[in-house]
Amino acid sequence: MLEILYQDDGLVAIHKPSGLLVHRSALDAHEERFAVQLLRDQLGRRVHPVHRLDKGTSGVLLFALDKDSARALSRCFEFGEVEKRYTAIVRGHPAEQGRIDHALSRRHDPAERLPAGASDAPQQAVTHYRRLATAELPYRVDRYPSSRYALLELAPLTGRRHQIRRHLKHIAHPIIGDSTFGKGQHNRLFQQLFGSQRLLLACFSMAFTHPHTGVRVSIQAAPAADFTSVAHALGWDKAVASLSAGPDS
């Protein structure tokens, strides 16, 4: 049963667990469970995904319940009218706060239908972040005798595919558990120490103006237990609790 965070006549938001695909993808052809299918069966009606979270990312996932709402919400995402906030556990100690302004080339799902003339030229991509907590573990992973990690809050201003993951790799602070853009040695350390098998990235807040009522909607989802257990082991309980304070950008 999926956890429903918000629902009205046109919209529904769930807390997507890590490891669940939003919909069928050629990249995971063997998968048989999808958020779209599970929510459709749970509600007994058709649902329309209006954005995506990567398979490994947990947190707020929004659907429309009819085609008109789907079109309206898709425009909100397209024009950057949806405020999204994420948290991640990363390698190293980034600056206390920063802005990553780094264009990203388009990445496509093999099954995605692209409009005629679509360009693969890099697109503007901006992410704000602030550092919430740091830790240093007495384990040699790279060339240093100990390894540093940090908890970040992130606010992407654009919505490029894998934007946060690629931006954090770009500044040399990849997310722990990221098998594509991260560092395998650090991922394995977290598996061994904390039993963490997931990408340590979660969308914990989403806010937007309702396309039909004009009312401001704010949806919150505390990071899932498999995320907070790692944060707890690193002594970051207070930092995780502070996520509701908002980004300093």
DSSP conformational letter for 26: G
Beta carbons of 206 and 83 less than 8 angstroms apart: yes
- Gap between the Cα atoms of 195 and 176, Å rounded: 12
Contacts of 78 (CB under 8 A, 6+ apart): 159
**Residue 246 main-chain phi, psi, to 5 deg:** 100, 150
- Gap between the Cα atoms of 249 and 204, Å rounded: 17
Secondary structure class of 18 (helix, strand, coil): coil
- Gap between the Cα atoms of 215 and 175, Å rounded: 35
Q: Is 54 a known active-site residue?
A: yes
User: How does DSSP assign 110-168, residue by residue?
Assistant: TTPPPPTT---S-B--EEEEEEEEEEEES--SSSSSSEEEEEEEEEESS--TTHHHHHH
* 139: number of Cβ within 10 Å: 14
Q: Which of 9, 28, 41, 54 is catalytic?
A: 54
Catalytic residue numbers? 54
